[in-house]
């Protein structure tokens, strides 16, 4: 999810020196779920109590309820969003067929296409999470009355991209290992450079948001970053730095999915209420949205892969290419449906923002 500029309140209020940020739902909910604070507590608990080995059934259930549903949510959001068919005709009507064509190419040519789809998905995922952290950080800043200049946003964007840079270097079979053939690396020198690069990036991932937060406090309130923005950035960094690359893929996708579902539900419910659905209670819109997302997630991830062997393709190929294609589809859709400029999304962000009087 990414966000770009929206007209924000012009003058800051007198506020607490450090502020949590104006929540969409409730300060605790926004900080823990949308901001990702819950994942920080989880990582702290892991550090104190040792590794967690969830039973396979429990893990797959959590993945369905959160991760698969979050993929469903982006599609449900796309097709339920006001004016999406008119404004985004390729995304709504052309992309599904294009995605199916890519899927067929992936299973038909696993070495030439499928392998690269997997690598693209693994490389793009951390970028997508970085974009979501940036989107949330900007969203809460605007919502909390800050005005971000182009320079503020560039710095914020750079800080949010650091976890992506870290995972790009750390990734095995993806990221830098995908784009640069291993034969190009002199073994010892490359390993040393890579290790040192990861150490530097591992520090910058946390130092940069902290420095930006401190800088924002000195901005006199104009471009103050709320705490939720900082937590969203730090949480994304923790996912990629504190876990190894493949464990990060499990836990980061769960917490990212939780963030995503929460913010999607907020936007969907607010949209529905604004479009005249206020007669129905908010939870009815939320249940309908989540139910549709969950159902779609189940069909895409649990049902679709079983069709592959009927066409003579290995189940493993089908499943892996399905996962890659759904992820890539999701990354593309998200790049469009969360825009704020000239978009109804801006109304939700600005709604109930602090008075600028």
Partner 1 sequence: MSLERAEPPAPWLYRVAFVAGLTLLAVVLVSGLARVAMRDRAFPGLEQDPLVEAARMSERGDRDAARAEFAAAVALNAGDDQMITHAGAGFRKTGHHADAEAALRKALQIRPRPSTYSQLGWTLMEAGRVDEAAASFAAALQTDPGEPLALAGMGEIRLTSDRYAEAADFFRRSIAAKTPDAAVMNSYGIALALAGNSTAAIQAFELAARLDPTPDILANLARARATSSR
Site residues for partner 1, 315-344, by CB under 8 A, read 315-317, 319-321, 323
Site string for partner 1, 291-310 (x = CB under 8 A): --------x-xxxxxxx-xx
Which of 11, 26, 96, 179 contacts partner 1 by CB under 8 A? Answer: 96
Residue-wise DSSP of 93-117: IIHHHHHHHHHHHHHHSIIIIIHHH
Instruction: Pick the stretch among 38-46, 238-246, 259-267, 281-289 that binds partner 1 (CB under 8 A).
Output: 238-246
CA–CA gap between residue 181 and residue 48 (Å, rounded): 39
What minimum distance in Å lies between the beta carbon of 200 and partner 1?
A: 22
What minimum distance in Å lies between the beta carbon of 297 and partner 1?
A: 11
Q: Which is nearer to partner 1, 134 or 245 (CB)?
A: 245
| CB 126 within 8 Å of CB 200 | no
Q: Which of 329, 318, 356, 317 is nearest to 96 (CA)?
A: 329
| 348 near partner 1, rule: CB under 8 A | no
What minimum distance in Å lies between the beta carbon of 59 and partner 1?
A: 9
Site residues for partner 1, 11-50, by CB under 8 A, read none
* Sign of the CA dihedral with 154 first, then 15, 38, and 74 last: negative
Site residues for partner 1, 130-169, by CB under 8 A, read none
Site string for partner 1, 168-197 (x = CB under 8 A): ---xxxx--x--------------------
What minimum distance in Å lies between the beta carbon of 278 and partner 1?
A: 31
What minimum distance in Å lies between the beta carbon of 262 and partner 1?
A: 22
What minimum distance in Å lies between the beta carbon of 315 and partner 1?
A: 4
CA–CA gap between residue 245 and residue 172 (Å, rounded): 8
Burial label for 205, CB within 10 Å (0-12, 13-18, 19+), is buried
Structure tokens at 265: 């539900």
| 118 near partner 1, rule: CB under 8 A | yes
Which of 44, 52, 54, 89 contacts partner 1 by CB under 8 A? Answer: 89
Which of 11, 13, 61, 342 contacts partner 1 by CB under 8 A? Answer: 61
3-state secondary structure of 345: helix
For the range 172-177, what are the long-range contacts, defined as Cβ-Cβ under 8 Å and sequence gap of 24 or more? 172/245, 172/246, 173/119, 173/122, 174/118, 174/119, 174/122, 174/123, 175/122, 175/123
Measure Cα distances from 180 to 93, 169, 183, 184 in Å: 35, 11, 8, 7
Residue with tokens 């650091």: 162
Write out the residues near partner 1 by the rule CB under 8 A: 56-57, 60-61, 63-64, 89-90, 92-94, 96-97, 99-100, 110-111, 114-115, 118-119, 122, 171-174, 177, 244-246, 299, 301-307, 309-310, 314-317, 319-321, 323
């Amino acid at each position: 999810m990414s966000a770009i500029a929206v007209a924000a309140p012009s003058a800051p209020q007198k506020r607490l020196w450090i502020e949590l940020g104006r929540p969409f739902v409730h300060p605790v909910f926004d900080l823990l779920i949308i901001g990702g604070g819950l994942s920080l507590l989880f990582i702290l608990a892991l550090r104190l109590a040792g590794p967690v080995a969830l039973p396979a059934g429990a893990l797959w259930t959590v993945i369905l309820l959160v991760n698969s549903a979050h993929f469903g949510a982006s599609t449900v959001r796309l097709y339920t969003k006001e004016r999406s068919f008119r404004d985004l005709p390729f995304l709504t009507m052309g992309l599904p067929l294009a995605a199916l064509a890519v899927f067929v190419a992936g299973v038909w040519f696993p070495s030439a296409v499928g392998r690269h789809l997997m690598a693209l998905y693994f490389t793009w995922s951390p970028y997508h999470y970085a974009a979501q952290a940036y989107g949330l950080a900007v969203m809460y800043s605007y919502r909390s009355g800050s005005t971000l200049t182009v320079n503020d946003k560039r710095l914020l964007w750079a800080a949010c991209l650091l976890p992506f840079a870290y995972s790009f270097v750390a990734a095995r079979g993806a990221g830098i290992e995908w784009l640069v053939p291993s034969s190009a690396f002199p073994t010892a020198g490359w390993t040393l450079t890579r290790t040192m690069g990861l150490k530097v990036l591992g520090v910058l991932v946390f130092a940069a948001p902290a420095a930006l937060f401190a800088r924002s406090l000195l901005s006199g309130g104009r471009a103050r970053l709320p705490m939720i923005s900082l937590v969203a950035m730090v949480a994304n960094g923790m996912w990629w730095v504190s876990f190894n690359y493949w464990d990060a893929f499990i836990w980061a996708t769960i917490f990212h999915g939780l963030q995503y579902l929460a913010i999607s539900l907020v936007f969907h419910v607010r949209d529905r209420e604004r479009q005249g659905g206020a007669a129905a209670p908010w939870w009815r819109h939320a249940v309908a949205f989540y139910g549709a997302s969950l159902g779609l997630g189940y069909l895409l991830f649990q049902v679709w892969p079983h069709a592959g062997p009927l066409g003579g393709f290995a189940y493993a190929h089908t499943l892996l290419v399905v996962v890659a294609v759904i992820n890539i589809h999701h990354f593309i859709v998200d790049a469009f449906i969360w825009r704020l400029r000239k978009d109804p999304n801006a109304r939700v962000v600005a709604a109930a923002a602090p008075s600028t009087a």
